[in-house]
């Protein structure tokens, strides 16, 4: 099977958190520190590389939940989330070490989120002719998909091309930030327009290209076959400022300052010495080492 020419962009948090909550907590290093998230993430990343053999791949990490530019726009952004446990923070750092040892570029920022890293890499490399596969389960990242790209829910083993995003999520990718802004997002503590849910927002953005177009012709809402159209129009009018703030929060930044070119995203031959040192330190056995050796043989 030849190497895969698409650029694979991985949203790390989805897979690290999943491993943390699903791999037995009893999996510890020789000092008794949990390494379950690292083990699960290593299995996921190794399996993906063996499965698709990407030529270009990058992993985006969240460095923090409280210092991104969105927190300056709206201090309550993600304030409803509990801080990550210390043992999980430690494992996130180990996951980045794993990526580098396995020959995979990884990125993190205190100013921007992992979504913004994915968005920036996708936009830049698409301009160089690369098709992009975004590996995640986060609906927010669907807004980045363009013709020729794919959204890959690796956990559910479902892949969605550009043409299928609206069927899966309710709107075209380009309209997703506005769609999310009207609905709000309880997970990220983003308030939307009260009384407007997924179905109503989806209907609105079948008729309007963006939030700006919606507010430029708000009276047209009354002519759309939509339940309680008068109430919806009134709510939109009353909560205009909130809707535009929410759109700033839901829009992924695709122009963050990032010193990177396509060659930096090439999958490298794993550094087996560094990888074995890491695995020795956390007490991992042959399973993951054997997989890394197979990956090294693929890349050689």
143-197 pLDDT per residue, tens: 999 999 999 999 999 999 999 999 999 999 999 999 999 999 999 999 999 999 9
Helix (H), strand (E), coil (C) string for the chain: CCCEEEEEEEEHHHHHHHHHHHCCCCCECCCCCECHHHHHHHHHHHHHHHHHCEEEEEEECCCCCCCCHHHHHCCCCCCCCCCCCHHHHHHHHHHHHHHHHHCCEEECCCCCCHHHHHHHHHHHHHCCCCCEEEECCCHHHHHHCCCCCEEEECCCCEEEEHHHHHHHHCCCHHHHHHHHHHHCECCCCECCCCCCCHHHHHHHHHHCCCHHHHHHCHHHHHHCCCCCHHHHHHHHHHCHHHHHHHHHHHCCCCCCCCCCCHHHHECCCCCHHHHHHHHHHHCCCHHHHHHHHHHHHHHC
207-252 pLDDT per residue, tens: 999 999 999 999 999 999 888 999 999 999 999 999 999 999 999 9
Fold observed for domain 173-250? DNA polymerase; domain 1 (1.10.150)
Residues 247 and 210: beta-carbon distance below 8 Å? no
Output the pLDDT for position 98. 98
Domain boundaries, the chain: 4-169+253-299, 173-250
**Rounded (5°) CA angle 65-8-259:** 60
102-135 pLDDT per residue, tens: 999 999 999 999 999 999 999 999 999 999 999 9
Dihedral (CA of 230, 233, 236, 239) sign: negative
Q: What percent of the chain has pLDDT over 70?
A: 98
> Hey, what are 27's tokens?
């999996």
Separation CA 235–CA 196 (nearest Å): 8
**Rounded (5°) CA angle 1-59-146:** 75
The architecture that CATH gives domain 4-169+253-299 is 3-Layer(aba) Sandwich (3.40)
Cβ atoms within 10 Å of 5's Cβ, excluding its own: 11
Distances from the Cα of 283 to the Cα of 21, 268, 278, 295, angstroms:
20, 25, 9, 20
Output the pLDDT for position 49. 97
């Amino acid at each position: 099977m030849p190497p895969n020419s698409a650029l694979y962009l991985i949203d790390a948090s989805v897979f690290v958190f999943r491993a943390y909550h699903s791999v037995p907590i009893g999996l510890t290093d020789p000092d008794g520190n949990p390494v379950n998230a690292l083990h699960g993430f290593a299995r996921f990343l190794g399996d993906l590389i063996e499965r698709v053999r990407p030529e270009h791949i990058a992993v985006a990490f969240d460095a923090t939940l409280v210092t991104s530019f969105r927190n300056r726009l709206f201090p309550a952004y993600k304030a409803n989330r509990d801080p990550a446990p210390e043992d999980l923070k430690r494992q996130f750092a180990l996951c980045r070490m794993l990526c580098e040892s396995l020959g995979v570029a990884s990125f993190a920022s205190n100013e921007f989120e992992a979504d913004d890293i994915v968005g920036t890499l996708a936009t830049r490399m698409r301009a160089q002719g690369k098709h992009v596969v975004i590996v995640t389960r986060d609906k927010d990242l669907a807004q980045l998909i363009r013709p020729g790209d794919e959204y890959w829910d690796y956990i559910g083993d479902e892949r969605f091309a550009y043409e299928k995003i609206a069927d899966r999520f309710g709107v075209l990718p380009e309209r997703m930030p506005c769609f999310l802004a009207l609905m709000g997002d309880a997970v990220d503590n983003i308030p939307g327009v009260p009384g407007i849910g997924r179905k109503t927002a989806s209907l609105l953005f079948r008729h309007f290209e963006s939030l700006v177009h919606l507010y430029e012709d708000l009276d047209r809402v009354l002519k759309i076959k939509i339940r309680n159209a008068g109430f919806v129009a009134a709510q939109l009018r009353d909560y205009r400022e909130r809707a535009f703030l929410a759109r700033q929060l839901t829009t992924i930044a695709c122009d963050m300052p990032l010193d990177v070119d396509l060659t930096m995203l090439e999958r490298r031959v794993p550094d087996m010495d560094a990888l074995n040192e890491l695995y020795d330190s956390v007490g991992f056995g042959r399973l993951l080492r054997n997989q890394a050796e197979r990956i090294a043989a693929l890349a050689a």
